[in-house]
Amino acid sequence: MKIQEIQELTPQELASKKRELKEDLFNLRIQQQSGQLERPHLIRIARRNIARVETVLSTKSSSSK
């Protein structure tokens, strides 16, 4: 997910996207522990996407204050 796509989302959409990404990360970690994860780089990508969403969410909330 690109940063420009994330910046276009509203704070409510960002919060739901963050929740969705955290669920995906959880599922990836479960797959990794059970030995079913074929592409372990997806964990890194998921963590980076969560960080991007959190960064944009915090900048939007601080700019609105």
Digit-coded pLDDT (tens) for 19-53: 999 999 999 999 999 999 999 999 999 999 999 99
Q: pTM of the entire structure?
A: 0.90
Quick one: which H or E segment has residue 2? none
Provide the pLDDT confidence category of residue 56 given band limits of 50, 70 and 90.
very high
Q: SS3 breakdown of the chain: % helix, strand, coil, rounded to 5?
A: 80, 0, 20
Q: Which residues contact 15 (CB under 8 A, 6 or more apart)?
A: 57
The predicted pLDDT at position 64 comes to: 75
pLDDT at 61: 87
53 exposed, middle or buried (CB, 10 Å; 0-12, 13-18, 19+)?
buried
